[in-house]
Amino acid sequence: MVDGRVIRGYSILAKGDEPKKLGENLYLIKSQSGNGGYLVLNQNGEWRCECPDYKYRKVECKHIHSVKIWLALKEKLEKTDKINLHQELLETSQCKRCGSPNLIITVALDSYFKGLSLRDIVDQLDQFYGLKVSHVTVLNWIREYSKIISQYAKELKPKLSDVWHTDEQQVKVKGNWK
């Protein structure tokens, strides 16, 4: 199964947020929350990002995947005059074993939970993946897979370390900051 970070890397590009090259192997990716961006660096073949996902988990985050996908597409464009982007994305968005489009469903769910309307999701799937689906189909996916995700989350037992990270957020309760 494809890592969710890869799908989110595709989503960054699909939204139109293209990496900005700042140096030889240094790129700036806009933050999905809209507040600034993150620096992504490839140093001696090792990718690094300054986002919390990379810092704390030491995994290739969505920003790194976005740059890698963008560079691969750019390289492919340099080798040929034309590219069928819909076909490229569709082929990489299907299960290699069974050809299932469930990865497309994941993109639809991700887009929905990021605040896109059903009709915007339908438009996105058509524009970027060349898929024609109804907004009712997307709603059915959301209903069906939300139940599965909810059940999975209930059974999830995260492995925690002895280190906890907190922010400095406070809330006002009855006039007092807590």
The secondary structure of 81-119 as a DSSP string is: S---HHHHHHHHTS-TTT--THHHHHHHHHHHHTT--HH
pTM passes above 0.85: no
Tell me if 56 sits within 8 A of 165, measured CB to CB: yes
pLDDT in tens, 127-171: 877 778 899 999 999 998 888 888 888 888 877 778 777 777 777
Q: Which of 4, 3, 7, 28 is nearest to 17 (CA)?
A: 28
pLDDT in tens, 52-111: 989 998 889 999 999 999 998 888 777 765 555 545 555 555 555 555 555 788 888 889
